[in-house]
Amino acid sequence: MLSYKEALEYIHGLTKFGIRLGLDRIKKLLEILGNPQEGIKILHVAGTNGKGSTCAMIDSILRAAGYRVGLYISPYLEVFNERIKVDGRNIPDDDIARLTEKVKNAVEEMEKKGWSVPTEFEVVTALGFLYFKEQKVDFLVLEVGMGGRFDATNVITPLVSVITPISYDHQQYLGSTLTEIAREKCGIIKPGRATVTAPQDEEAMKVIEETCSKLNSSLVKVEKEASYRLINWGVEGQTFDLKTSKHNYQQLKIRLLGDHQLDNAATAVVAVEALQRYGIDIPSEAVRKGLEKARWPGRLEILKENPYVLIDGAHNIAGIRVLKEALLKYFPEKRIILVIGILSDKDYVDMLSEITPIADSIITTRPDSPRALSAAELAESIRKLTFGKTPEVYESDDIEKAVKAALDMASSEDLVVFAGSLYLIGKVRSILKN
């Protein structure tokens, strides 16, 4: 049998086949494996921003209601196993090794038949479905990898399709306009099944409405279905009242920071309430407990105090704007030392224009990805931007050295922010935890 290390080498070795959207390969692969995705109650989540947080909250609420819940997310922050969880626990190494062997055999069978070889994401998705089936989960919260229509996860019929805010990302695959991108995301909407959407730009909402109407999917708009009132907030979390058409929740608490997390929380609650149409009632106490226990590492996450150290996987322009708003809100008087690393296929000039003016010192670094910009390229882009004040910019391709430099630079009153690619944030999180 494969070892855990060999299994990961096999999986990551498939990256050479790149990103190839389409459902033909994954369907054939799952067929050989006995279609493990069938018969699982699924909430399918697509969108550009807030997918992960919304999935984490839905997962936590369902678990608080006493259900056995699978969670499938991507990418991971620190260890591969984070992508596949049951009841909040990562899939064990032994199960990854054993099930990868099974999937590898199926892939070899496909090759013998002259069929196209699956991509890395397709193999991981098949692995996840096998594990969730074996673990007999009551529900699966399934996050889309990219887009929706041709994403490998889109081989299921969910109870509820959830669409978080849609904005610009992965344009080379999904289209250059919001309408085109929304059309791809709306591929997860299924005939006769409920669709829940977070607040959207008008252009994206129009596509969602048209798709639901065409497929006879009942559309629930969070902005019409729910309203909330923020009671108090601070670095330890937020308290708010939430009123939906089904419940009036008082004094709900979340540990996640940022105004956008209230929208994500409302979306998660409306999504679990949508299960009522299938005779599944989630008690209001489970909503309360689930939201309070929900965690989503690497997003506006405070790792230490004196000085405050915050990490955030803001990897596109919408994410960077959310980060900027949160920093100005939660840390208005702090001197900011920003460590940033971005992938070359992102709108990095726009991202830098947004975030660097609020930084007092900047260190550029290179995320752990072949698609990453070098520290020098990033620094050069920052120096070309013209602001009222030009912050000092330092460069280090070595992430550990960048972390050390930032902490050495900070006094106990400062704020150190690590932002950009999740390939950077995961590495930083591991370094800081150790």
DSSP for 365-411?
---SSTTBPPHHHHHHHHHHS--SS--EEEE-S-HHHHHHHHHHH--
If asked whether residues 261 and 123 sit together in one domain, one would say yes
If asked whether residues 217 and 335 sit together in one domain, one would say no
If asked whether residues 56 and 161 sit together in one domain, one would say yes
- Count: domains in the chain: 2
If asked whether residues 263 and 358 sit together in one domain, one would say no
Q: Which of 293, 318, 334 is the last residue of a domain?
A: 293
**Which residue segment(s) compose the domain that 416 sits in?**
301-433
**Residue 311's domain is classified under what CATH number?**
3.90.190.20
If asked whether residues 250 and 320 sit together in one domain, one would say no
Contacts of 195 (CB under 8 A, 6+ apart): 160, 161, 162, 163, 189, 208, 212, 217, 218, 219, 220
**Residue 98's domain is classified under what CATH number?**
3.40.1190.10
If asked whether residues 245 and 320 sit together in one domain, one would say no
Q: Which of 293, 323, 349 is the last residue of a domain?
A: 293
Q: Which of 277, 293, 309 is the last residue of a domain?
A: 293
Measured CA to CA, the distance from residue 375 to residue 394 in angstroms comes to 9
If asked whether residues 332 and 355 sit together in one domain, one would say yes
Measured CA to CA, the distance from residue 56 to residue 235 in angstroms comes to 19
Distance of alpha carbon 222 from its chain centroid, rounded?
Answer: 19
Q: Do the beta carbons of residue 32 and residue 131 sit within 8 Å? A: no
If asked whether residues 319 and 288 sit together in one domain, one would say no
Burial of 388 (C-beta count, 10 Å sphere; 0-12/13-18/19+): exposed
- Local confidence pLDDT in tens for the 434 residues of the chain: 899 999 999 999 997 666 777 899 999 999 999 999 999 999 999 999 899 999 999 999 999 999 999 999 988 999 999 999 999 999 999 999 999 999 999 999 999 999 999 999 999 999 999 999 999 999 999 999 998 999 999 999 999 999 999 998 777 778 889 999 999 999 999 999 999 999 999 999 999 999 999 999 999 999 999 999 999 999 999 999 999 999 999 999 999 999 999 999 999 999 999 999 999 999 999 999 999 999 999 999 999 999 999 999 998 898 999 999 999 999 999 999 999 999 988 889 999 999 999 999 999 999 988 889 999 999 999 998 866 566 789 999 999 999 999 999 999 999 999 999 999 999 999 999 88
> Which residue, among 40, 42, 129, has the nearest Cα to 84 in the 3D structure?
129
